[in-house]
Chain A
């Protein structure tokens, strides 16, 4: 479960913002259309120029390691995509295209994937990309010694692979897994030099070697990572605006933990681009003639309030629907994001392949209906307004770590809405370790979280009964939903070898979830990227929803 990106010392940021408000008010000017184009690189003008080093201000969530297979951190794509290419590339519409794989074939039983690989690709250490290299990467992801927190799980059905030609690899799965190709487009499953994996696996964290448009330079922990252009790069992703090496000579990613420092570093020209623009500053960026703004929504499961369906009161679907109806999601999301996050329409975000448009608008705000459902479920108003049934009060325990101020605000506002409907929410402040343990053991009623991944298989991760935590295995089904019909739909979708069939199954699963109401979807988390107007050609990695610098150039 992710905690999200907002900065830690909230007070600090708030104070800094206030202290700077006056000086920045002076910078306000004409409103310019920002982020109107298809990608982040809107309004690219003139001929791209080679040269220069771009500095990106990232938030303080610095990865602990740069080996993508050893990471689950949110910023993995931003820091690793410059270095690592993937087997496939996902376009903005969610379609998969050849990248380091030139083509692939799936057997009718969905158990064998045959990859034909691109010729002429070289890793930064000079070693060649071939079928052996791909196999070494799969084995590295799966090897328990790699301690992979995510990649290993994403290729869990991988059984073995056979090199059938210099550039041909036959991969066998233990069970059909239709999301296999999708996850291969994510940077978490980026391709590492096989030579490094074999000869010096202990160096992949500190000195990552990939085949990407930028070569890793230096990592000063707690501060920045620098990269330089890969002059041999001729295998850019198919959606890119150009071919050949990157335009930028170099790239620097600086970790600026303070929201306000990050924003002001951009406003004062100390950095060229910032990721995780503080939502409160987005209007400032939009009104500054020297700055541009763009955003992309991340695929996967929207940020949601989880309801524990395995115990009272949320074991009753009417109570779950009632609290969903009682909460004014738009008001909550607008207030915590200053209007910068979009309210979620369903259980997967629109930028996810196999997203179904139908459920949009089906999750509504209707207090009368919420009250009616609770009446129907037998919960009658007590003297203090809280409902009672069989001598039991209608109460729910919410867990909150206080680490992310927005999450606390969300719970407090949901608490107020629930109270109006006669449901008392008790917010317990706990440490993140206690929260994670109690969520895993089901000792809670309400919790919050999000899961970003580029496949509707996220529904299997979050809601399949196979993913309810047991003493032997920790799963991600936080709501502990156990619905045979949904299980069947999600399992069939995993087995589907035909895209249409799969999409149909996921559409039904999404509709089923609206009925089951195991969670209250709140918002689709975006990447909010701001830049100097001299930065041209920013792109996106659509498989995660993160900024990408392959096409970027500086207009000086």
Chain B
């Protein structure tokens, strides 16, 4: 258990380092991006701010103070969970993100459930089956994995919203409006995960312990579910960096395409309006999520593979391997 605590301790320390780096980088980007931030704050299209308005903004946002003072107060604010004030929305970044986070979390979780269910089901059903079955599954996975989620989204919209008219094309209220975006976001990820999972399953299914399980007379499905799956899950966990990234990145496009609320929409409008505090707030949030995911992954290894809890060398390997 000591080992586990030490692992968590190291991870948190490294995480703090990553966040400090992200906060510093974000400050530098804001500071050294050409152009007057005051113009961005009251700029935008068709704007003609008077000199008095520019002066007010410069004072209010502390843009007239030296850069090191701004850096220290920026770090101090981040430490207190204050990510600054949005140029465009004129409200705290944390509030702007908070308003939108729920919808993105909902979408990402729904998509994760769809992707995991699909990939596990397909892999279980097709691993070490007849050649054409595996070929068909593998082909389908390759196809969806290489299809951009916006294209999939368009297909889904065309068929289910504009063609059959059974699901709404836009909005983020209720379960029905979640179905299409969740599938658009999940399918490419499911394709990749399914592929990896089947290969791992096939490898495991050739292990001696599987053969011994079969000789004990266990049914094929029981063998797959109870014995093989647990071993095959490790690569899925290892790839969590990939699919968490794919979920976050894909959300930007999916939310725009389906006119959903969410951090993706927020990010796009922020980039468009040069709203750097919001952009960097989202960057910081993403960095935080990655740190958290890495920590969870390391802990999951311990759950999935009990050997790691006992063999010191193995535990050490995990720390290095995942760092």
Binary per-residue interface labels of chain B (42-66) against chain A in the complex, 1 for a CB within 8 Å, 0 otherwise:
1111111111111111000000000
Distance of A254 Cα from B154 Cα, bound (Å): 19
B272 at the interface (CB under 8 A from A): yes
Binds B, one of A58-66, A121-129, A171-179, A286-294: A58-66
- Inter-chain contacts of A455 with B (CB < 8 A): none
| A248-275 CB contacts (< 8 Å) to partner B | 254-258, 260-261, 264-265, 267-270
A473 on the interface (CB 8 Å rule)? Answer: yes
Report if A461 contacts B (CB, 8 A).
yes
Could you say which of A2, A20, A436 contacts B162, with CB atoms under 8 Å apart?
A: A20
Q: Does B161 contact A (CB under 8 A)?
A: yes
CB 8 Å contact bits of B67-89 with A (1 = contact, 0 = none): 00000000000000000001011
Q: Is the CB of B90 closer than 8 A to any CB of chain A?
A: yes
Known contacts: A19-B155, A149-B48, A461-B48. The answer to whether A268 contacts B257 by CB under 8 A is no
Cβ of A451 < 8 Å from any Cβ of B? Answer: yes
Among A219-227, A237-245, A371-379, A502-510, the one that faces the other chain is A219-227
Closest to A155 in B: B50
Cα distance A362–B132 in the bound complex, in angstroms = 72
Are the CB atoms of B256 and A268 closer together than 8 Å?
no
B166-203 interface (Cβ within 8 A of A): 168-172
Do A257 and B158 form a contact, CB below 8 Å, given A150-B47, A223-B261, A451-B46?
no
Partner of A23, one of B53, B150, B158, B171: B158
Verify B170–A270 contact, CB threshold 8 A. Answer: yes
The yes or no answer to A368 lying at the interface (CB within 8 A) is no
Contact with A along B32-49 (1 / 0, CB 8 A): 011110011111111111
B35 touches A433 (CB 8 A): yes
Which of A8-16, A35-43, A190-198 touches B?
A8-16
Check B35–A74 contact: CB distance below 8 A: no
- Nearest A residue to B276 via CB reads A433
* Chain B residues within 8 Å of A154, by CB: 48
- Assess whether A472 is interfacial by the CB under 8 Å rule: yes
- A461: chain B residues at CB < 8 Å are 48
Smallest Cβ distance from A431 to chain B, in angstroms?
Answer: 8
B55 touches A19 (CB 8 A): no
Does A114 sit within 8 A of B, measured CB to CB? no
Q: Which of B158, B265, B269 contacts A19 (CB 8 A)?
A: B158
Distance from A63 Cβ to chain B, minimum over Cβ atoms (Å): 10
Question: In the complex, A451→B99 CA distance in Å?
Answer: 33
Interface segment among A140-148, A310-318, A323-331, A410-418: the answer is: A140-148
A510 to B253, CA, bound (A): 45
* Contact A144/B259 with A222-B100, A436-B43 known, Cβ cut-off 8 Å: no
Is A95 interfacial (CB 8 A cutoff)? no
Q: Provide the residues of chain B in CB contact with A269, threshold 8 Å.
A: 165
Q: Which B residues are CB-close (under 8 A) to A119?
A: none
Q: How many residues of A contact B (CB 8 A)?
A: 62
Whether the pair A268, B162 counts as a contact (CB closer than 8 A) is yes
Instruction: Select from chain B the residue with minimum beta-carbon distance to A473.
Output: B51
CA A434 to CA B32, docked complex, whole Å:
12
B259–A256 touching, CB < 8 Å: yes
The interface residues of chain B lying within 8 Å CB-to-CB of A9 are: 150, 253, 256
For A258, list chain B residues within 8 Å (CB): 256-257, 259
Q: Which residues of B lie under 8 Å from residue A434 when comparing CB positions?
A: 34-35
Bound form: Cα–Cα A264–B163 in Å:
10
* Given contact pairs A70-B90, A144-B53, A432-B274, A476 touches B100 in the complex (Cβ within 8 A): no
Q: Which residues of B contact A222 (CB under 8 A)?
A: 100, 103, 172, 255, 259-262, 265-266, 269
Q: State the CA gap A70–B255 with chains docked (Å).
A: 27
Q: Mark B265-300, 1 if CB is under 8 A from A, else 0.
A: 110110011100000000000000000000000000
If the complex has contacts A23-B158, A476-B48, are A261 and B268 also in contact, measured as CB distance less than 8 A? no
Contact A261 B259 (CB under 8 A): yes
Q: Which residue of B lies closest to A152 (CB)?
A: B50
How many angstroms between the C-alpha atoms of A222 and B162 in the bound complex? 22
Cβ contact within 8 Å between B257 and A64: no
Contact of A20 among B40, B86, B158 (CB under 8 A): B158
The residues in A between 405 and 452 inclusive whose CB is less than 8 angstroms from any CB of B are 432-434, 436-437, 451-452
What's the minimum C-beta distance from A509 to chain B, rounded to whole angstroms? 19
Find out whether the CB atom of B46 lies under 8 angstroms from the CB atom of A261. Answer: no
Kindly list chain A residues whose C-beta atoms are within 8 Å of the C-beta of B41: 147
Q: Is A3 on the interface with B (CB-CB < 8 A)?
A: yes
Q: Is A105 at the interface (CB under 8 A from chain B)?
A: no
Q: Would B100 and A73 count as touching, CB distance under 8 A?
A: no
Q: Which residues of B contact A472 (CB under 8 A)?
A: 51
Distance (Å) between the CB of A151 and the closest chain B CB?
10
For the complex of A and B, list the 10 residue pairs with the smallest distance between their C-beta atoms, beginning with the closest: A144-B56, A149-B47, A433-B35, A153-B48, A72-B47, A222-B265, A222-B261, A2-B45, A72-B46, A64-B88
13 contacts between A and B (CB under 8 A): A1-B46, A16-B157, A23-B158, A148-B42, A149-B49, A153-B49, A221-B266, A222-B266, A258-B256, A258-B257, A264-B162, A452-B46, A472-B51
Name A residues whose Cβ lies closer than 8 Å to a Cβ of B: 1-3, 8-9, 12, 15-16, 19-20, 23, 60, 62, 64-65, 70, 72-74, 144-150, 152-154, 156, 205, 220-224, 254-258, 260-261, 264-265, 267-270, 403, 432-434, 436-437, 451-452, 461, 472-474, 476
